[in-house]
Amino acid sequence: MSEASQFDALIVGGGMVGATLACALADSSLRVALIEGGAPRDPRRDEPHDLRVSAITRASRQVFTALGAWEGMVARRVSPFREMQVWDATGAGEIHFDSAEIGEAELGHIIENRVVQIALWERLRNAENVSVFCPAACARLRREAGLIHARLEDGRELSARLVVGADGAQSRVRQFAHIPVHGWQYDQHGLVATVRSELPHRETAWQRFLPEGPLAFLPLHDGRCSIVWSTAPEHAARLQAMEDAAFCEELGRAFGGKLGRIEETSARAAFPLRLQHAECYVAAGIALIGDAAHSVHPLAGQGVNLGILDAASLAEVLLDAHAANKDIASLAVLRRYERWRKGHNLLMMAAMDGFKRLFGSEWWPLRGARNAGLTLTNRLSPAKQLIMAQAMGRGGDLPRLARL
């Protein structure tokens, strides 16, 4: 095998999470290959927002800043949100968060997934120790002579002692390592679209809990909103197929007219929602990060943020081990990463799932309790501040890259 195809670590998947790990390992003495099936397209500033956007927490932003990628995101387009308003369609309960209450300029940013990814990739251009293979899907993995070999679809073969699966919920790396997953389908699809409303969004992220699932309006810098409507798969299919005018009307009604009439919509797409957690995050020579390790309900916009913290934590563990002359592919080293992240992710997943169930229930005592709970929490500033800190990704044991 030639030296050009042998690395210390292969990262399979160059999405937001895999690219974060590659950046975090850039400029180190580790030789890293990033393998991605399809490159994202750089948007022009005046073109419509892509349907796939994410609410990026303060902690993730800090990671991007430390990696030198945040400027590239801002130069394209990021949309800050300063307030958050959450209410229940079946009662009077509501809660309002304001960044000013905790002395912050904003609670987070809405950013297109492709903008996050491109800005991270841009940063990799100057990293001599990271080779990017794209478009290059990893077709097969095998173990031989203490190495893991990845065969790419174009026939090239790369090898390393460590392979990181950042290849999303259907992870091939996870399947190769025979790591089982636990979880369930939510019997909901997340319908996404970009819409214009009659009233301004006031840089507020809005979420209304309907009996069929939450409906979120996320503010974009051009005055539009990106919506995520979690609802029954048949309903999502109907909404997707509707004429634009009929969809706008149904959306406005479902949102209780909070932002007036919905005047304009983009085409729509829908994604099946599931909770999925890998039984373990590591095996000999293997580590899983991001959606390869866990998928959560999008209701609190935490999915990719957990993955960014996985990437920053794994990089810290690997760089510390390498500096101490330890084998970065050994189970002892990789388990440090698993111990660090798995408990935190599990807690977040349980909280998201609990919310989903609490707000999905039509059982009247629960309905009453959640409305009373929202109103009470809204009045208790320590409880609110704790929730805001968690939502901004400030809770738990943060990796160095995420600390302010």
Ligand X SMILES: Cc1cc2nc3c(=O)[nH]c(=O)nc-3n(C[C@H](O)[C@H](O)[C@H](O)COP(=O)(O)OP(=O)(O)OC[C@H]3O[C@@H](n4cnc5c(N)ncnc54)[C@H](O)[C@@H]3O)c2cc1C
Answer for the pair 221, 240: CB distance below 8 angstroms, yes or no: no
For the chain, give the number of residues.
Answer: 404
Interface with ligand X (CB under 6 A), residue total 32
Interaction of residue 167 with ligand X, rule CB under 6 A? yes
From 189, 184, 243, select the one nearest 214 (Cα to Cα): 189
Q: Which helix (H) or strand (E) holds 160?
A: strand 157-165
What residues from 13 to 42 belong to the interface with ligand X (CB under 6 A)? 13-18, 35-38
* 307 lines the binding site for ligand X (CB under 6 A): yes
For ligand X, give the closer residue by CB, 91 or 396: 396
CB of 327 to ligand X, least distance (A): 25
Kindly state whether residue 112 participates in binding ligand X, applying the rule CB under 6 A.
no
203 vs 327, beta carbon nearer ligand X: 203
Q: Show the binding pattern over residues 319-358: x = contacts ligand X (CB under 6 A), - = does not.
A: ----------------------------------------
Distance CA 70, CA 139 (A): 32
Q: Report the residue number, 218 or 322, with the smaller CB distance to ligand X.
A: 218
Number of H helices, E strands in the chain: 11, 20
Q: x-or-dash pattern for ligand X, window 241-280, by CB under 6 A? A: ------------------------------x---------
Stretch that binds ligand X, among 65-73, 203-211, 301-309, 333-341 (CB under 6 A): 301-309
Cβ proximity to ligand X: between 172 and 201 the closer is 172
Centroid of chain to Cα 186: 18
25, 26, 54, 163: which one binds ligand X (CB under 6 A): 54
290 binds ligand X (CB under 6 A): yes
* Separation between Cα atoms, residue 263 and residue 248, nearest integer Å: 7
Q: Which residues are CB-contacts of 125 (< 8 A; sequence separation ≥ 6)?
A: none
Output 19 or 371, the one with its CB closest to ligand X: 19
Site string for ligand X, 189-208 (x = CB under 6 A): -x-x----------------
Host H or E run for residue 315: helix 303-323
The answer for residues whose C-beta is within 8 angstroms of residue 69's C-beta and 6 or more apart is 23, 119, 120, 122, 123
> What beta strand segments (E) does 43-93 contain?
53-56, 79-81, 83-88
Q: DSSP letter at 37? A: S
**Interface contacts to ligand X, rule CB under 6 A:** 12-18, 35-38, 54-55, 137-138, 166-168, 172, 190, 192, 228, 271, 290-291, 298, 301-305, 307
